[in-house]
Amino acid sequence: MPNSSSITEFVLLPFADTQELQLLHFALFLGIYLGALLGNGLILTTIACDHRLHTPMYFFLLNLALLDLGCISTTVPKAMANSLWDTRAISYTGCVAQVFLFLFLISAEFFLLTIMAYDRYVAICKPLHYGTLLGSRACAQMAAAAWGSGAVYALLHTANTFSLPLCGGNAVDQFFCEIPSMLRLSCSDSYLREIELLTFSVFLFLGCFVFILFSYVQIFRAVLRTPSEQGRHKAFSTCLPHLVVVFLFLSTGMFAYLKPSSISSPFLNLVMAVLYSVVPPAVNPLIYSMRNQELKNAIRKVISWRHLRMC
């Protein structure tokens, strides 16, 4: 049986058995990827160009768009290349890099979503202290903490996972390298170390979710006491998209990692991986711009400005 020291490459799960269906998968992922690039790119450009959006909320949204772009770029291009060239191989180094980058970006994103809930809480429940608690320096430090925490978290998981003896072969039962699939290749009791780390992760992310939930309980209580209907509408338009993104992120991610083995199957694992790794980065820009009139107006101005410059 091979061990981790003798493995030079891994074999990823194909989406289909025929070349025609592989090309269909390529076209589908290409459309999703281009949509994610366009949506997140528009948000980045709009926030950077419109000085009226240089506020803490949009600063964090800019960071979220960057993380979404990185997250989908870590998994989808390799999957598209494999489908186009009808191959399944990924090098050992490439697999390690994919695990680290995906964990880094996805965990930093959830930490950032937690910070964004705090931003909305301060803005609505403590508006007089908003400038003090969320100044430019404080925002930069909180964003840096989210990125840094994600890097440390990913480094621990990646180092722990690839230190395990992988003697179950080199066939990864997924279209990209992810920890649950890598653990299934281990045939040593030392995988319990990673299970312990995953258990810690569950409590960590649940703690963040409880903080988000508590923040929104306070937010909705404050909003419902607001006499102005316009004020309530503006508060809901900035809070509800964030809450939808958090729910989508947590529900798909937690189910993908914690679903019982009794209901596990290659097809279900594949669907859940797409739902938590590919869909959110593509739909997040749509969710955030759907109800936010200020952002939609700014995006229209940026598009019109670019159109006029091209003419």
Is 180 a member of any domain? yes
Task: Note the pLDDT tens digit of each residue in 160-190.
Answer: 888 877 776 788 888 899 887 887 787 766 5
Per-residue tokens: 64: 């979220």
pLDDT of residue 105: 95
How far, in Å, CA of 233 to CA of 223, rounded? 9
Is 246 a member of any domain? yes
- Does the pLDDT of residue 32 top 70, yes or no? yes
Is 81 a member of any domain? yes
Give the H or E element holding residue 228: none
Is 2 a member of any domain? no
Per-residue tokens: 58: 């949009």
Q: Which residue has the tokens 């990913």?
A: 154
Q: What CATH number has the domain bearing residue 210?
A: 1.20.1070.10
Question: What residues have CB less than 8 Å from 296, skipping those under 6 apart?
Answer: 289
Task: Note the pLDDT tens digit of each residue in 226-267.
Answer: 777 776 777 777 788 888 888 887 777 777 666 666 666 777
Give the H or E element holding residue 226: none
pLDDT of residue 259: 67
Decide: 22 and 80 in contact? Cβ < 8 Å.
no
The DSSP secondary structure of 76-96, one letter per residue, reads HHHHHHHHHHT--EEEHHHHH
Tell me the range of 108-112, 179-183, 303-307 where mean pLDDT is highest.
Answer: 108-112
How far, in Å, CA of 62 to CA of 53, rounded? 10
Q: Spell 154-170 as b/e; 16+ CB within 10 A means b.
A: beebbebbbebbbebeb
How far, in Å, CA of 270 to CA of 15, rounded? 8
How far, in Å, CA of 1 to CA of 275, rounded? 33
Residue closest to 143 by CA, chosen among 115, 164, 124: 115
Is 188 a member of any domain? yes
Is 282 a member of any domain? yes
Count how many residues are written for the chain: 311
How far, in Å, CA of 44 to CA of 62, rounded? 6
Q: Measured between alpha carbons, how far apart are the two ends of the chain, in Å?
A: 64
Structural domains counted in the chain: 1
Question: What residues have CB less than 8 Å from 190, skipping those under 6 apart?
Answer: 163, 164, 165
Is 1 a member of any domain? no
Specify the DSSP class assigned to residue 184. T
Is 221 a member of any domain? yes
Per-residue tokens: 221: 């209580």
| Per-residue confidence band for 1, with pLDDT thresholds at 50, 70 and 90 | very low
How far, in Å, CA of 124 to CA of 236, rounded? 11
- Does the pLDDT of residue 295 top 80, yes or no? yes
Q: What is the pTM of this model?
A: 0.88
What is the span of the domain harbouring residue 282? 9-162+170-310
